[in-house]
Amino acid sequence: MRIARQLSISAAGTALILFSLFYGESLQARTSLDLSGSWKVIPAGRMEDPNDGAWPSVELPGNIAPTLKQTGSVIWLRRELNVEPGRTNLSFLTGPIYDRLDVYVNGIRIGGGPETPGRPIVVTIPGSILKPGLNFIALRLESNRKISAGILQGPILVQDTEMAREVFWKSQIPSFVFSLLFLSCSIFFILLHFRVEAGRIYLPSGLGYGVLALHFMCENEILHWVLPLHGLWEITGTVSGILIPVLFYPFVIRFFRMEPPPHYRTFWWSVIGVAFLAALLYTLKLHFILEIVELSWKLLNVPIFFLAAFLTFRQLSEKQSTGGFLIAGGFLVFLIHGLVSILEGRLWGPGAIQLGFFSVIGLLIPASVIMLQLVALQRDVDLGSLKMESVNELRTRIFHHINLAIAQPVLELTEQVRQKMQEGFNRKEASAVQFRITEMEKSLDDVLELSRLEVMEEPEARVPVNVGDFLSAVLPTSGVTCTVKVHPRLELESSLELVHSAVIRLVDFPGFKSFRHIDLIVTSDLEENLHFRFLLQHDDRKTMRRMQRILTGKLPDLEGLWIQWGIIQEIIRILDGSLEVRILNKKFLCIDVRLDAHLPPEEALEREGPGLRVVSLVEQDKEAEAVARAAAANDERMPEIQFHAKMTTGEFVQWIKQKFRKSA
């Protein structure tokens, strides 16, 4: 429910932002003189000539780069400006300019800008130079760009100064709000990457939205007004604009769990190289070369875009999912956005992407996919919790019913048999019946204990204690040979009751009654793990191997050992340990129980070399100790070899040995 509320709030916020994208248009319509349209090109030396009927014209906003090729890097434009009597507090407002603009009214320069290309300007028109009725406004545009230059986007208008400034700043609000939205998405997804283990798509999404936030923030006039580091923001915006076309390809690859395409790493090195080149060209003010690099980069990304779309639709045809359909829809949205940009002539202009209906939808699709995954994850967690609660409740009820159904009849049967034993059973029959009754009572206790352990997630209490002292007090002194080799300062922080219970249950395990001898060797490895290694000898190797296969689940349990063995496994699970059963050197059945231990902080730094001590409670079996020492050394010194295509012959042989050892 919490995620659903967050999604509803996000949807409402997005709708509000989309509404603000078009709010400025209604604002501009009030008391403004729209100067968009035809502007006359002033021939050289005819600035004051009022007769401009035969002069050539250009359209603003629009690309005047072809005209600049004829006039050089500077072009003069003029247009009539009709001012109503009494309107003197006016300002001239224009959209982004590439590269430089100076504004003249009635032949007098009133201002210019911007300080860096690609920014809008507002110029106040002094009331003293305006005449009621007909006036002339002239623009001096300067640019070295060969592909796109001039005022490429609107508005171009004259308006009351207060209203012009209001329009100017409110036009910056949508991109500023979206940059904050992308920044919040970036932080949220990056935090998810470090909190959720299975979150393969969170990091590329977080980095992608971070670059988007940086790009829109650097192009926003609010940031330029708060921190007037214009050059730094423009260079950062240029570099982020190079990165935007390729931001979400890693997201697509990780979402569909695809293998990276060939030369994937080379592609990203190329991206870094192009971004560095763009920053260098902007720093050197080689804008005409920079726009060639930007255009070439856009054209290069067209086949990459279609390749990514093809891979997406191919994966979607193999496995359908809601997220996959959203990603495929995102490619279609960006395709439509690109076609619209081509028809409007904006794709070849400077800049990476413009905020609009299609671009906003496309950019928010990765976030929507992740939100859907989070909703599905929350739903699975809730369903899993309900199922676990139901299972736990059902398990408790079942064992309660078993207790009610078996315990009382067993007690009554026990009492009746005892009375019968006193009356007519001979001693041998009475002993047999008494043994069966005792075994039945033990089995019932074990079933109840197993049911109790299965619902436990962690020990009720963890107590730190020195391992040597603990083992000296709790290890059995009869029926088993015990050898302890641990660091003198090693500590165990766990449930001592459960550890003691696991050791005693392993020593008294019914399946080991036929084994000739049991050796228990307690050691600590290089990673400060505590190992309880039980080495069991049997005269019949087939019996030993059969017991190993029963305990590992490879043979069915026909001897009724599953309850006692299940209790041992559950205890090790609760203690966050591991249990391994294997045949060692074809002589011993080895049961290795690993538990986490640790050294005190000061001892962990010193790591005393000869700090192992030996505590022999009874005379140990020399052969068993030597074999266990060799096994421990092999486990500690030889890391597990992973199979890969470039492994050597020696690694392959070791890998086969490991597989045979595990299967044994």
Amino acid identity, residue 88? T
Mean residue pLDDT across the chain? 77
Domain-located, residue 360 = no
pLDDT in tens, 518-556: 888 898 888 878 889 999 888 888 888 888 888 888 887
End-to-end, the C-alpha distance of the chain in Å comes to: 50
Is there a single domain that holds both residue 180 and residue 237?
yes
pLDDT in tens, 393-433: 766 666 665 665 566 666 666 676 666 656 665 666 667 66
Return the pLDDT at 315: 84
Decide the pairing of beta strands 588-596 and 529-537: antiparallel
In this structure, is the dihedral angle defined by the CA atoms of residues 355, 357, 359 and 360, taken in order, positive or negative? positive
Assign residue 572 the CATH number of its domain.
3.30.565.10
Is there a single domain that holds both residue 239 and residue 344?
yes
- Check residue 152 and report its DSSP letter: -
Is there a single domain that holds both residue 213 and residue 267?
yes
High-pLDDT (> 70) share of the chain, %: 75
Domain-located, residue 475 = yes
pLDDT in tens, 313-354: 888 888 888 878 888 888 888 888 778 877 777 766 776 566
Give the residues across from 592 on adjacent strands.
533, 580
Amino acid identity, residue 400? H
pLDDT in tens, 454-481: 777 788 778 888 888 788 777 776 778 8
Is there a single domain that holds both residue 162 and residue 200?
no
Return the pLDDT at 104: 93
Domains in the chain, number: 4
Residue (of 219, 246, 192, 267) closest to 95 by Cα position: 219
pLDDT in tens, 115-139: 888 889 999 998 888 888 888 899 9
Domain-located, residue 290 = yes
Residue 4 class from Cβ within 10 Å (0-12 exposed, 13-18 middle, 19+ buried)?
A: exposed
Helix (H) / strand (E) containing 614: strand 613-616
Assign residue 133 the CATH number of its domain.
2.60.120.260
- Check residue 598 and report its DSSP letter: B
Is there a single domain that holds both residue 517 and residue 577?
yes
Domain boundary among 432, 454, 476: 454
Residue (of 230, 242, 40, 26) closest to 138 by Cα position: 40
Domain-located, residue 2 = no
Domain-located, residue 188 = yes
Is there a single domain that holds both residue 483 and residue 385?
no
pLDDT in tens, 205-221: 888 888 888 888 888 88
Q: In Å, how far are 125, 131, 169, 213, 563 from 88, measured between CA atoms? A: 8, 9, 22, 40, 96
Residue 288, C-beta contacts closer than 8 angstroms, at least 6 positions apart? 144, 145, 146
Upstream peptide bond of 174 is cis (omega within 30 degrees of 0) = no
pLDDT in tens, 90-109: 899 998 898 899 999 988 99
Domain boundary among 170, 205, 235: 170
Domain ranges, residue 65 = 31-170
Is there a single domain that holds both residue 162 and residue 191?
no
Is there a single domain that holds both residue 180 and residue 294?
yes
For residues 210 and 183, the answer to whether their CB atoms sit within 8 Å is: yes
Is there a single domain that holds both residue 580 and residue 468?
yes
Is there a single domain that holds both residue 303 and residue 431?
no
Is there a single domain that holds both residue 128 and residue 199?
no
For residues 234 and 116, the answer to whether their CB atoms sit within 8 Å is: yes
Q: At 630, is the pLDDT very low, low, confident or very high (cuts 50, 70, 90)?
A: low
Q: SS3 string of 434-471?
A: HHHHHHHHHHHHHHHHHHHHHCCCCCCCCEEEEHHHHH
- For residue 490, pLDDT over 80 is answered with yes
Q: What is the torsion angle, in degrees rounded to the nearest 10, for the CA atoms of residue 609, residue 610, residue 612 and residue 615?
A: 180
- For residue 6, pLDDT over 50 is answered with no
Is there a single domain that holds both residue 257 and residue 157?
no
Query: Going edge to edge, which strands form the sheet with 613-616?
Result: 578-584, 588-596, 529-537, 517-524, 481-486, 613-616
Strands (E), 209-317: none
